[in-house]
Structure 1
Amino acid sequence: MVAPSPTTARAAVLEHLVRAVEEFPDLSIGDVPGDGLSAADQSLAHAINQAVRRRWLTLEAVVQQRLTRPFAELEPPLRAALLAGAAQLLLMDRLPAHAVVDETVRWTRSRLRPGAGGFANAVLRRVADAVGSAVRVPASGGPSLDAGEMPLDDGTAWRFPESPFGLEGPSRLAEQTSHAVHLVERWIAARGDRVARDLLLHDLVLPPVVFAGLPDTLEDPALRRHDRPGFHILAGGVGVRAKLRDLLSAHPLARVQDSTAASAVEATRELQVRTAVDLCAGRGTKTRQLATVHPNARIVATDADPGRLHDLRTALRRFPAVEVVEFTRIRKAAIDADLVLADVPCSNTGVLARRLEARYRFGSMGLAELVSLQRRILRGAADLVRPGGWLVHSTCSLEPEENEEQARWAARALGMAVVFERSMLPTGLPGDPPTAYADGGYHALLERRR
C-alpha cells in the first residue's frame, strides 16, 4: 500500500521508522523530515524518533512479551508502529496514553489494513497496562540491574512485576540498556561488571549541548559552567536552537565541542607549530580549535569525503588562516608539517549517548577492518610529519585495539615514539547534573624519530 503523506508528527515519524526498521541494525544517521509540520510537531517527531533509536532493543523486548510470534516476523510498518507507540508509553509519559494508541492504530490501519490496526491496538493496550502496573523507583545501585528493571535517563526506573527481559547476564543487560549483546559481553570481560554497567547506563543519558571557547566572564541565564574548566552547558527546553544560533553568532570563536573531544588538540598547546594539518577534519570543529590553540600557525585541513569537505569549506570561511584542500592534494600542500592531527574513523564506543546508531552496529564492519583503515590513515599522516614533528592519533572509542594498540603499532611501524597518551571513560550517569556529562575518547601524541 502506498504510504499516506504525513500530516502529523506521529505519521511523519512512523514513515521514517519504517525505513529504519528495514535497515536495523545498520541504521543510517538522519532525523525525521519536517516538511509540512509545525514547529511543535517537528519537535515531537524528533523526540519520538530519538526515543526509539536510544531504546530500540528495550522497546522490542517489552513489545515481544505481548506477542505470540517473533517481532522480527512482523511487517516493517507494524514493527515501526509498535516501537513508536511503546516508546511514547514508556518514555514520554506526559503524552496521554489514549492519544498515543488511537493515532498509532489509525496510521496502521491506513498504512496496512484494518486487521493490522486491530493487532496494534491490542498490543499497545497491553503495553499501556504493563506501564500501569509498573512502579517508578530509583534505579538500583548495584553492579547489575534487577531482573524486571528498565532504567530511565533521569536516574529512575520502571520496575515490572513480570520481567520482559532476557535471562541472566549480558543478554538481559543488553535489552535493559539497548546495546548489542556482543558489546555488553566485551565490556564486562574487559572492564568488569560495575564499570560495564556504568558505561551502559551513561549511554541512556540525554547529552547536553557543550560549548568551548565562550568567555569565562560571560553571564547568561541559559548557560551553566561545566564541571571541567573552560566549558559551558546550554540548558535545554523551548528555544534552545535559537539560543544556540544566537550564541554562535555573538561569539564566532566559540565551538560546540565536548570537553573530551577538545582534549586531543589541547594536548598540543605547548608545541612550537608553524604548519599543522587536520587530516580527517570532518566539519571542522577541531580545525577551528587548532587555529585557536596555534594562532600563528598555518593550518591545512582536508577530508576524504566530498560532502564533508564541502561543509568544511563553508564552516571555515571565517578563518582565513585555514587552508582547505582536496584530499588528493594534501601531500603537495602540507609535506613536512610540524603537527598532523588524525582524528580517525572509529567504532564510536565512547560517544554512544550521542551516536545512537553505533550501539547496534558495533561489529558490523568489524574491529579488524576499522583497525586496518586507521593504520592506512596513520601511515599517510606520518608521511606528512617532518622528522622531529608530531602526530596526534585521536578517537572517540573505548576499545584498546583502536587506541593504545594503534599507538604501539605506529611506534614500531612508522618510526614514531609515544610521548603522551590519555584514555578517558565517559562521565555522567542517569540522574546526574548535565554539568557532569562528558564523552569518552582517546588521544596519543607521537613524535617522529626518523
Structure 2
Amino acid sequence: MRAEALDTLIDIERNKKLSHIAIGETLMRHQFEKKSDRAFYTRLCEGVTERKIYLDYILDTYSKTPMRKCKPLIRSLLRMGAYQILFMDVRDAAACSEAVSLAKKRGFARLSGFVNGVLRTIVREKDRLPVPDKKEFDKYLSITYSVPEWLSRLMIDQYGAQTAEMMFASFLEARPLTIRTNLSVITPEALEEELKKEGVSVERGTYLPYALTISHLNYLGKLAAFRQGKFAVQDESSQLAVEVADINEGDFVLDVCAAPGGKTFHAADRLHGTGKVLSRDLTEYKTDLIEENKDRMCYENVEVQQWDALVEDESLLESVDVLLADLPCSGLGIMGRKNDIKYQMTQQQLSELAQLQRNILSVIWKYVKPGGEMIFSTCTLNRGENIENIRWIEENTPMRLVSIEDYLPETLKGRTGSQGYLQLIPGKDSCDGFFISKFERPEAR
C-alpha cells in the first residue's frame, strides 16, 4: 500500500489535513484488506509524519536539492523511502525500487534517477549517519525527535533538558490502544476474555482496575465487544480525570467540552443508571460523535446538546454537582498519538488557547452548586494552559483548589504535593501527558 501512503502524505502536506483523519479515511476504504497491509500503511504514514524533521535532516545531507525545494510528490517519496530504510524491517532494495517505480508511474520518470541515487546513498551510509550537535541542545532535540525548535526550547525552559528529552523520546515509541471497560454491562475480566477470543492481545492497565490496553487488532469496528458498547477508547490519563471526581449516584454532571464523549460516558458509568450527564460541545459534528458513541454504549442517563461554552446558560446556574471542564488546549501531551500536532501548533496559539480557557472558565464556574466541584483538566504539557490558569481560577472566582490525593492510585500518590494538581509526564508515566486539578465551590455562609 505504498501508493496509498504516498497519496495520504501528500494530502496531509498539501491540504493541511490532520494525519489521523487522512489515515482513517484510507483505512476505512481499505477495511477488508489484509491486516498486514493495513499495518504497513499505517506505520509508514505515521512514521514519516512523526519523524519528518529528522528525515529531512538526513535527506538534506545526501541530496543536492534541499527537501524544501523538492516537488511535494518527490519530497514525500524520499521521506517514505528513507523511513523504510532507517526504521522499518523492509529490504533496502525494495524501498528504493518501489520509490523509483512510483516516481515513474506518477509522471516523474526524469527524477527517478535522483530518487534512486539519494536513497541508495542513505543505504550505503546508514551506519554512519550525521548526528546533531548536543552543544545546541534545543536544535539537537528538534532534529533528533522531530519537533520545532521553539517547542524544544519551551519544554526545556519548563521542565529542564533531561525531562524534555525523555518526553520527546516517549512520543516516538509505539503505544497500544487504551480502553475503559463499560462496568455497567461487563467486568474487566470478562471483557479481557472476550477480546482474547477475538484474537486481540490484552494487558491490564497501569493505574485503574477497569483499564485495559489492546493491540494486534485489525479494525476496531470488527470487534463485537466494541460494537456492543462493552468498552470505550480512552487513555488512562483521561480516565483518571473522572476517577478523581467524587461522582455519586443521583448527581447532575455537566461535561462542557465533551467530544468524543470519553469522560461523559465514564461519568455515566459511575452514576449506575441514576442521575444525569449533560454532554455539550460547540459544533454539530462534535455532538454527532457523542451521539454515535451514546447509541453504541447505550447510556440512558446522558443528554447531548450543541452549546457554545462561552455563552452563559442561566438555567444551569448553581445546579451542577460535578462539572467536567476538559477544555480546548494545544494537545502537547498527546503528540505521541496525534503526531502532527507539533507541526501545526504555534507559540501564538498557545497564548490564545490559554486565554480561551479563561474565557470559558469565567462562564462555567457559575454552574457549580455550593458544595459542588469542578474538574479542570487538559491534555497538554504547557504550563501556561495549566498551572497559570489554576492561579487565574483562584484569583478570579470563588472556587477553591482541593486535594486529589485520596482519589489517586498508590503509584501516583505524593505527586500533587501541597499544590493539589497532577501533571502526568510522558516517559515517566505510562499514559499521555495530562493535567488534572479539582476545585470546590464553597458552601454559602
Q: Same fold (TM over 0.5)?
A: yes
SS at match of 2:425: coil
Deviation of 1:199 (Å): 0.8
Contact 1:392 / 1:444 at 8 angstroms: preserved in 2? yes
Which residue in the other structure is 1:138 paired with?
none
Residue number in structure 1 paired with 2:152: 184
Give TM-score, length-normalised by structure 1: 0.82
What does 1:10-89 align with in structure 2 at a 5 Å threshold?
A: 10-22=2-14, 27=18, 29-32=20-23, 33-34=26-27, 35=29, 38-39=33-34, 40-89=36-85
CA apart distance, 1:247: 3.2
Gaps of 5+ in 2: 404-419
Which residue is 1:225 aligned to? 204
Between 411-420 and 32-41, the greater mean CA deviation after superposition: 32-41
**Which one of the candidate residues 312, 318, 331 is aligned to 2:313?**
331
Aligned length: 405
CA displacement at 1:240 relative to structure 2 = 4.5
Q: In 2, are the aligned partners of 1:338 and 1:385 still within 8 Å (CA)?
A: yes
Q: Aligned to 2:313, what secondary structure does the other structure show?
A: helix
User: Structure 2: how far apart are the matches of 1:375 and 1:298?
Assistant: 26
Q: Which residue identity does 1:68 align to in structure 2?
A: K
Residue of structure 2 aligned with 1:312, choices 290, 296, 300: 290
Runs of 5+ consecutive residues of structure 1 not aligned to the other structure: 1-8, 135-159, 430-435
Cα deviation for residue 164 of structure 1 reads 6.4
Identity %: 24
Question: 2:411 — aligned with what?
Answer: none
What's the offset of the Cα at 1:242? 5.5
Q: Does 1:171 align with 2:139?
A: yes
Greater Cα shift, 354-363 or 29-38: 29-38
Quote how far apart the aligned CAs of 1:260 are.
1.2
Distance (whole Å) between structure 2 residues aligned to residue 199 and residue 324 of structure 1:
36
- For residues 248-287 of structure 1, the aligned pairs below 5 Å read 248-249=226-227, 252-269=229-246, 274-287=251-264
The match for 2:396 is 413
Which of 275, 278, 285 is equivalent to 1:297? 275
User: Cα distance 1:368–1:379, how it changes in 2: closer, same or farther (>3 A)?
Assistant: same
| Letter matched to residue 205 of structure 2 | H
SS at match of 1:20: helix
Assess, with a 3 A threshold, how the Cα gap between structure 1 residues 162 and 425 changes in structure 2: closer, same or farther: same
| Change in CA separation of 1:446 and 1:113 when aligned onto 2, cut-off 3 Å | same
Match of 1:205 in 2: 173
Is the Cα contact below 8 Å between 1:277 and 1:300 reproduced in 2?
A: yes
Answer yes or no: is the 8 Å Cα contact 2:158–2:383 preserved in 1: no
Q: Deviations over 1:345-403 (max 9, x none)?
A: 11112111112111222326521100111112212211322233222111011121111
Deviation of the 1:195 alpha carbon: 1.0
Cα distance in 2 for partners of 1:397, 1:271 equals 28
User: Distance between the aligned counterparts of 1:60 and 1:38, measured in 2?
Assistant: 31
Q: Give the conservation status (yes or no) of the 8 Å contact 1:259–1:438.
A: yes
Structure 1 residue 234: deviation in Å?
Answer: 3.7
Residue 229 of structure 1 deviates from its aligned partner by 3.5
Deviation at 1:248, TM superposition (A): 2.7
On the 8 A contact 1:302/1:325 being kept in 2, the answer is yes
Alignment of 1:321 onto 2:264: no
What is the letter of the counterpart of residue 351 of structure 1?
Answer: I
- Is 1:385 matched with 2:364? no
Q: CA RMSD in A?
A: 2.6
Q: Distance in 1 between matches of 2:374 and 2:250?
A: 12
Name the residue aligned to 1:369: 352
Q: Distance in 1 between matches of 2:15 and 2:148?
A: 15
Residue 67 of structure 1 contacts residue 123 of structure 1 at CA under 8 Å; is this kept in 2?
yes
Evaluate the alpha carbon distance shift between residue 270 and residue 14 of structure 1 in structure 2; reply closer, same or farther with a 3 A threshold: closer
Aligned partners of 1:89 and 1:245: how far apart in 2?
34
CA distance in 1, matches of 2:19, 2:359: 25
